Amino acid sequence: MRDRLGPAIVVMIVALLQACTAGNDAASPDDHRTVGDSGSVVVLGAGEEEHAFPFASHHCAAYGKIAEFKAMITHRLNRYATTRDAEFICVRPSAPSDRFPATRQ
């Protein structure tokens, strides 16, 4: 009997640990996934342009560019739910600034 309890207890402990960590992996409402490259970015599940802008700005800044709003895209998740993604383009700043200095040749 004791030989059978050992593996069962290990399986139960592993299952409980996985259940505890699953709650910590869930994204908070303020965490949004960004998908893009140096030319554009889409902030998934943003809801509104104003909410998505900081995420897009951070993405574009990695390429030395600034984010400009392009469009909101609505996706139907199921019969009763939709989500809105914000699409931005990454453009070079028109005037040099402290954050984006002009390139020297």
Q: What is the pLDDT of residues 86-97, one digit of tens each?
A: 999 999 988 666
Cβ atoms of residues 32 and 52 within 8 Å = yes
Label residue 105 by pLDDT band (50, 70, 90). very low
Label residue 32 by pLDDT band (50, 70, 90). confident
CB atoms within 10 A of CB 55: 22
Closest CA to 45 of 26, 30, 58: 30
pTM of the model: 0.60
